[in-house]
């Protein structure tokens, strides 16, 4: 977290140096220190975040209490998804969110210190020269087609029972795709009935069988593992209506 004071970067080179330090810390957590990282992400604890530090260290901690925070916050609740998917998929998911957080922090500094168009462009070019955390963790910038097909097939089985969507990457372009076009379009145009955010391909979603609205699993506290045992899912709103009747 940001409890330890660090020098505030003010130039493009300093912001990039801050980016590289945080990136190195996050990569350590998801590769060489992965066992330690895994054990710290206990699903029984409160919402936890993975922080990368400018000095190439990392820590798992609660989000800061101040609103708004001093810096953009990492993805919240990464520990809840730990036991809901295979470890490599969970690590890839955390890696993707970590990449997004690093960009948010870098361009936060850029906005704070008035970087112009050319400075922002130079910063992005410098960042774009190094592999993303996801590329390092997965060993490949793009998921192989057979791996994507595995996710697609498991997602199809889930949706046949209670319309669940678990996607880490877009479905591959193959012959089986035609039968799922309509469902894919429905999901990609959906917004979460709880938080209102749009559908994301790297998130677990579940559809209510009563009102047919989609929800982030994290918003309704349903993990992929729990969803496997649900024959007919009712969202909190629909469950509440039944209870009042």
pLDDT tens digits for range 19-51: 999 999 999 999 999 999 999 999 999 999 999
**Residue 93 in contact with residue 74, Cβ under 8 Å?**
no
pTM more than 0.75:
no
DSSP state of 198: B
pLDDT tens digits for range 209-236: 888 888 888 888 888 877 777 878 888 7
Q: Which tokens sit at 70?
A: 């001093």
**Residue 91 in contact with residue 137, Cβ under 8 Å?**
yes
pLDDT tens digits for range 118-163: 999 999 999 999 999 999 999 875 443 444 444 444 443 333 334 4
């Amino acid at each position: 977290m940001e409890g330890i004071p660090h020098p505030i970067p003010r130039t493009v080179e300093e912001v990039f140096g801050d980016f590289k330090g945080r990136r190195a810390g996050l990569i350590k957590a998801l590769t060489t220190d992965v066992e330690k990282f895994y054990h710290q992400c206990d699903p029984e604890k409160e919402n936890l975040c993975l922080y990368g530090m400018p000095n190439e260290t990392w820590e798992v901690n609660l989000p800061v209490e101040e609103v708004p925070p001093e810096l953009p916050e990492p993805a919240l609740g990464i520990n809840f998804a730990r036991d809901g998917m295979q470890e490599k998929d969970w690590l890839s998911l955390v890696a993707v969110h970590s990449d997004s957080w690093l960009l948010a922090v870098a361009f936060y500094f850029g906005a704070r210190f008035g970087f112009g168009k050319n400075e922002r462009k130079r910063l992005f070019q410098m960042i774009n020269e190094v592999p993303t955390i996801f590329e390092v963790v997965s060993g490949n910038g793009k998921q192989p087609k057979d791996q994507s097909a595995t996710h697609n097939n498991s997602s199809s089985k889930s949706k046949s029972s209670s319309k669940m969507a678990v996607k880490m990457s877009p479905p591959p372009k193959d012959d089986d795709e035609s039968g799922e076009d309509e469902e894919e379009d429905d999901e990609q145009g959906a917004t979460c009935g709880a938080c209102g955010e749009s559908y994301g391909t790297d998130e677990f979603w579940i559809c209510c069988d009563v009102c047919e609205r989609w929800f982030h699993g994290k918003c309704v506290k349903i993990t992929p593992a729990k969803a496997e045992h649900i024959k007919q899912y009712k969202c909190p709103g629909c469950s509440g209506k039944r209870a009042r009747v």
